[in-house]
Amino acid sequence: AKEPVRVLVTGAAGQIGYALVPMIARGIMLGADQPVILHMLDIPPAAEALNGVKMELVDAAFPLLKGVVATTDVVEACTGVSVAVMVGGFPRKEGMERKDVMSKNVSIYKSQSSALEQHAAPNCKVLVVANPANTNALILKEFAPSIPAKNITCLTRLDHNRALGQISERLNVQVSDVKNVIIWGNHSSTQYPDVNHATVGGKPVRELVKDDEWLNGEFITTVQQRGAAIIKARKFSSALSAASAACDHIRDWVLGTPEGTWVSMGVYSDGSYNVPAGVIYSFPVTCKNGEWTIVQGLAIDEFSRKKLDLTGVELTEEKELAYSCLS
Ligand code: NAX
């Protein structure tokens, strides 16, 4: 039998945490033969709720779950973890300035990055879910210089999956038959969902949809604004789809992407496709042996170029804002 892997979920008493921890305990993230020990972190006001989640995990009697650590101590939470899913953060409340939200999250991610750096297992893989996801991940990277940059990523897989879902509904095909959409850039409304290389059963999506106006308009805005549509309908933000996407992200990263398929991940940009280097930018990637590689050589038309640049500018501005919060 395999040794258990320790998986950290921060913000585990929140909505996404509640959907995510049972998925991890059922083997959806790391595989049906991989035992896990869950580390759950939240802040003191949520300690009682966090303990309730722990009680439910015990009650669910998951065969793969070999232990649960529920704590408000960041060092205890980070100790020995090989996977860290960072869902905890400070939400934007009505009337708050962008800078104030950024400043709260910069301080959270700065301190949690040090705890991870000092106490996590070597080669720990980090996924930041909490918004602003790309910039929180960047802060984590900057303040944990001993964690390789390639181990720090942010979640854009939910946006990727939303794009697959929209194409599948439009063409009335199985979502599993839609492949190789791309989310470029920031996990925000400037993200660019790109179908120029996407296929269904090997045929280009553009040829199948035969409606460039929809693909260049409503499709893009629907994916960009899907989070807001969920809030409007459910009165809460996306949780089960976010949790599922987090599992997809880690699973593909650790176990590899299928041959001929790429996925979207927010990763430390090397300037590929002439987007800004030194920000966490979502690219198409393939994964093998626990490492991601940016898919190279895709043609970028003029329409796409503008969109790649626009979301890159926003990420550069966010980076500057984050740095201004440090001083
Ligand atoms: P909740 O407010 O339900 O949960 C957040 C939890 O984090 C709370 O329990 C809170 O006590 C905890 N927390 C706050 N500060 C913390 C700290 N310093 N250390 C540990 N825990 C802390 O939000 P939820 O709906 O679960 O969303 C979590 C985050 O995911 C938000 O930032 C949200 O914006 C972001 N999202 C990101 C998505 C993505 O695709 N990247 C999509 C879904 C989601 O909107």
Q: Looking at residue 98, what is its pLDDT?
A: 82
Residue with tokens 């408000």: 72
Do residues 148 and 200 make contact, with C-beta atoms less than 8 angstroms apart? no
The two structure tokens encoding residue 11: 């913000």
Question: 87 alpha carbon to ligand 1 midpoint, in Å?
Answer: 5
Q: Looking at residue 37, what is its pLDDT?
A: 98
Q: Which of 160, 187, 197, 249 is catalytic?
A: 187
Ligand 1, residues at Cβ distance < 6 Å = 10-11, 13-17, 41-43, 46, 87-91, 108, 129-131, 133, 155, 158, 187, 227, 237-239, 242
Q: How many CA atoms lie within 13 A of 308 on its CB side?
A: 21
In this prediction, the answer to ipTM > 0.90 reads yes
Residuewise pLDDT in 10s, the chain (327 residues): 899 999 999 999 999 999 999 999 999 999 999 999 999 999 999 999 999 999 999 999 999 999 999 999 999 999 999 999 999 999 888 788 888 899 999 999 999 999 999 999 999 999 999 999 999 999 999 999 999 999 999 999 999 999 999 999 999 999 999 999 999 999 999 999 999 999 999 999 999 999 999 999 999 999 999 999 999 999 999 999 999 999 999 999 999 999 999 999 999 999 999 999 999 999 999 999 999 999 999 999 999 999 999 999 999 999 999 999 987
Question: 13 alpha carbon to ligand 1 midpoint, in Å?
Answer: 9
Neighbours of 302 (CB within 10 A): 6
Question: 29 alpha carbon to ligand 1 midpoint, in Å?
Answer: 19
Q: What are phi and psi of 301, to 5 degrees?
A: -80, 175
Distance separating alpha carbons of residues 148 and 145, to the nearest angstrom:
7
Distance separating alpha carbons of residues 253 and 311, to the nearest angstrom:
24
How far does CA 207 lie from the centroid of its chain? 30
C-alpha distances in Å from residue 182, one per residue of 104, 124, 285: 30, 26, 9
The pTM assigned to this predicted structure is 0.98
Neighbours of 236 (CB within 10 A): 9
The two structure tokens encoding residue 214: 């929809």
Do residues 167 and 200 make contact, with C-beta atoms less than 8 angstroms apart? yes
Strands 36-41 and 65-71: parallel
